[in-house]
Structure 1
């Protein structure tokens, strides 16, 4: 990367946030040596060893070295509980601390975006090339097992590595067999537009190491003389000019760097890629957002955009725990120092075994009820159990079958609490705030019970520890979902795109901020509706598409 003590502080493009979207954007925009590009990251380098060891997410989440350590406001839908809300704070952003699961969602997600924006560029068939452009899928390696259909849907030779997991568990294989008996078909590929089925997740790893976007898109281009990366640098606000009654223009950013305030200018565009929490926060701090909120904090209004910070959507996972007999699970394997030593030795020698694990191994997509025409549930099944994230494993063999509603109708918000950019905003997801979401929660727990009751799983004599078989009614199960549900870390939608006549749309279909020139938002916050699956790779697709638009416009 170019040296970071540039004295002119003038660039063509400034990208705020070196996370999932920002790293790809910096790569693409700086590919032309005529473009001077600055990438700014509040966190430090991704040199912490636990970032790169897959199981290290346990030590990166809620760790101030790598995570913003945010929390939600007490949530009525969770019976007053507040949750940790991980957001990556390091090069690679959330791709440095997330579950490494490669999932695109369903074709209907993107077709829906096209309808909501009036722009066919967002249709599935027009997004697929953007997914494939940066993909490097293991089945297309020399000697891989790809068929012709697979080649039509996946790319090879791109920066974003996709591999199969380097371990299997018999108890999960049997859970998959039980899922088939319960009516869920087997699949070889969740990423062809219809993800119904059961199989192991594919992961963003390379040879047993986490593959984050810093490694994928910044490593190898660090010598570009036109690319400057400032880490450990917090953006305090946008520099917006409103002279002579003309349309406001964003011409740069103010940052705190090495204890000093620095103003950096952009001759072409500023691109916010700070994520579904950071991007609306920066907009609001800069006078772009709901006028009443800005007035409350005595922030001059640059653009009254009531949708900034609204429309927050997330996947709430409901964790059903089953005690099992006669099964090898991580609870038992890691229950002694000898077991831990064996796990460490296997990873050291082979880069396989439990230390190579993503947080979830087995996946299933299905319907919570027959009335749904498409899968509306996603399972993350794990050969382990614990009371809550960060707590010790249970001292008995168990699995966890976490299930989430893919298309929640609940909507939350993100709002600043003060003018201080270092104060975290108020995050209010409003989980389970609609009757439909509460019904899906109750029905999803019944689907889980139906799978666990199949003969293929009976040999383990499964005992439902959470939520407990004594809870049967819709009201009981919905209430229990509020007690045991946790975020699966997929916040989106807080700077959503939409039609020009949509008063709550913040950006247009090409991700330009309404009413402000020279400013774009490119991250998961622009999704009008959440994708039907994990959100990291869809965010890369968004960045790939946006990079083409930005370069094509200049």
Structure 2
């Protein structure tokens, strides 16, 4: 039975929301309500079966937002539909948070919270060599709710071949990457339970084990329309208005309203509630509670692009699943249902590498990068340009430092089918054959976009403009990372898995120079949907929205604890960083109120 009064109201039952609600409800004296717009899909096989995650895109589990011409909705949020990739942030990407003006937010702090969120898998000594992890000691201290594994076929040769290829180039890792990593190649973990072979995510790991707590209520299919404020000088958040089954309801919070609706919805709700750029709010006749121009700005994302190379005969890939071959699908379903093994136990992402811009290590390369950086440097002194220049200088430092990575590389056991140029002969769907895709991710883009309301109607989707490639340095740097994919594909022993000379799935992916790489990036790049930064934790004078305790500037009893508050995206996939961020957010709230922990 839903009450009308709570100590804490958490808006959003995704990764951050469920972590924070679980931790706050450890104190039985606190009444916690979670309002989630989606349904509870924790019993849905499409959610639980690792390889079926992509089938949820475009369904009711997904918000299906569209950007301006140039994304998840279910209990558990994006953790219920992501690719289960669980890789660490780099030390440098976390340390930049403190450099930006957020004292105490650095790698030393955040990596401790990473290990609070997950439990590392137990690995037999006999498997360490095949898994490519024989070169370092595994972290034994993690004991958190998420259950991680080296998913899929652990005897597959790709992990060892990848690790040894990079080791020969001096890019190996000497310890568990979650103990701190800068550059190097490693076998990646997945948020897949090693015993059940099911997705381990915010709902199954955090919420389901404690869903019987009397002081915690989770209300699904409840869409929050705005945050309510006390009409006094303090501008204190007092509750929320939400819609459920076409009925408008109000609940109050005696302590705090905690916003965890995501990089798109959190800024939208702030603006609908009167917090944001005053001129924008006036346009839609919304009373201004706090003029905060940084709301909805600083949107950034990771772009990814890959090249699929044909494998040697007999190598196991997920290509038959992509082609939906009936006999293979039937066997895969039977293997998974009866034995919990086979092709459905993994999305096929087994390896990662964090590398510097290798070309810039030579003197001519460094001079080229320096020239490009000088040409595109922000110069004026308006507030948003001060923020842009701050980020630019951080990226500049990274690109010119051979010990700091600027790109993430990964392998996928199967062909990826990216967008194609309609004027080309590139194949648009799965083709016959077996492939390994090697991909590159632009880890630290300079370009920034925005997300804002386009109406005062809470049922209208926000206007999203990622503004990809708006700073030309992004595509210049990215093109150079793409040229390194062939180097990886030709490096033994990884090259032994691919037909030589290389056979590409798409002739357009034969990248011969920077210009062909840029052309391919403009037609075939995709979003990793790692959106963040739209309610950034930054000093207010730099366009920040929340302070280092994640409290919204200029109002009381309102915090933002999701990816929108992350000032700069972590180096690769956001999942591990987001769990750590939410764990620390919960601790900050508990400390403020002297709450108990289990």
Question: TM-score, structure 1 length as denominator?
Answer: 0.90
For 1:533, which of 568, 572, 579 is the aligned residue? 572
1:23-172 → structure 2 map (5 Å cutoff): 23-46=18-41, 47-63=43-59, 65-75=60-70, 85=71, 88-120=72-104, 122-139=105-122, 150=137, 153=139, 155-168=141-154, 169-170=156-157
> 1:327 deviation in Å?
4.4
Q: Which stretch of structure 1 is more off in the superposition, 487-496 or 100-109?
A: 100-109
1:147-177 Cα offsets, whole Å, 9 max, x none, are 99857x5534321212221315445654554
Q: Which residue number in structure 1 is paired with residue 373 of structure 2?
A: none
Secondary structure, counterpart of 2:282 in structure 1: helix
Q: Which residue number in structure 1 is paired with residue 319 of structure 2?
A: 331
Secondary structure, counterpart of 1:209 in structure 2: coil
Q: What runs of 5+ residues in structure 2 fail to find an aligned partner?
A: 362-399, 420-427, 594-598
Query: Aligned partners of 2:187 and 2:211: how far apart in 1?
Result: 35
> 1:31 deviation in Å?
0.9
CA contact (8 A) 2:483 2:514 kept: no
For 2:291, which of 265, 281, 304 is the aligned residue? 304
> 1:117 deviation in Å?
2.6
Query: Aligned partners of 1:171 and 1:203: how far apart in 2?
Result: 16
CA contact (8 A) 2:12 2:37 kept: yes
Query: Aligned partners of 1:529 and 1:141: how far apart in 2?
Result: 37
> 1:323 deviation in Å?
2.8
> 1:539 deviation in Å?
1.2
Q: Judging by fraction of residues, say which structure has more strand.
A: 1
Query: Aligned partners of 1:68 and 1:144: how far apart in 2?
Result: 40
Query: Aligned partners of 2:159 and 2:146: how far apart in 1?
Result: 27
> 1:412 deviation in Å?
0.9
Give the CA RMSD over aligned residues.
2.6
Query: Aligned partners of 1:474 and 1:247: how far apart in 2?
Result: 55
Q: Which residue number in structure 2 is paired with residue 81 of structure 1?
A: none
Q: Which stretch of structure 1 is more off in the superposition, 140-149 or 268-277?
A: 140-149
Q: Which residue number in structure 1 is paired with residue 553 of structure 2?
A: 514
CA contact (8 A) 1:135 1:154 kept: no
Is 1:544 matched up with 2:583? Answer: yes
> 1:142 deviation in Å?
12
Is 1:288 matched up with 2:275? Answer: yes
For 2:405, which of 353, 358, 375 is the aligned residue? 375
For 2:534, which of 494, 503, 507 is the aligned residue? 494
Q: Which residue number in structure 1 is paired with residue 468 of structure 2?
A: 431
Query: Aligned partners of 1:387 and 1:56: how far apart in 2?
Result: 16
CA contact (8 A) 1:285 1:421 kept: yes
> 1:368 deviation in Å?
2.3
Would the alpha carbon gap of residues 334 and 110 (structure 1) be closer, same or farther in structure 2, given more than 3 Å must change?
closer
> 1:260 deviation in Å?
0.8
1:249-272 Cα offsets, whole Å, 9 max, x none, are 111100002321001100000000
Secondary structure, counterpart of 2:280 in structure 1: helix
CA contact (8 A) 2:92 2:182 kept: no
Would the alpha carbon gap of residues 193 and 11 (structure 1) be closer, same or farther in structure 2, given more than 3 Å must change?
same
Query: Aligned partners of 2:147 and 2:453: how far apart in 1?
Result: 36
Aligned length in residues = 532
Q: Which residue number in structure 1 is paired with residue 520 of structure 2?
A: 480
1:119-149 Cα offsets, whole Å, 9 max, x none, are 12x1211223222223211138999989998
Query: Aligned partners of 1:32 and 1:183: how far apart in 2?
Result: 49
Would the alpha carbon gap of residues 392 and 167 (structure 1) be closer, same or farther in structure 2, given more than 3 Å must change?
farther
CA contact (8 A) 1:187 1:199 kept: no
Query: Aligned partners of 1:177 and 1:141: how far apart in 2?
Result: 20
Is 1:277 matched up with 2:242? Answer: no
Is 1:448 matched up with 2:485? Answer: yes
1:390-469 → structure 2 map (5 Å cutoff): 392-456=429-493, 457=495, 460-461=499-500, 462-466=502-506, 468=508
Q: Which stretch of structure 1 is more off in the superposition, 369-378 or 299-308?
A: 369-378
Query: Aligned partners of 1:465 and 1:147: how far apart in 2?
Result: 33
CA contact (8 A) 2:309 2:437 kept: yes
Q: What runs of 5+ residues in structure 1 fail to find an aligned partner?
A: 76-84
Task: Write out the 4+ residue segments of structure 1 that deviate beyond 6 Å after TM superposition.
Answer: 140-149
CA contact (8 A) 1:320 1:465 kept: yes
Secondary structure, counterpart of 1:14 in structure 2: strand
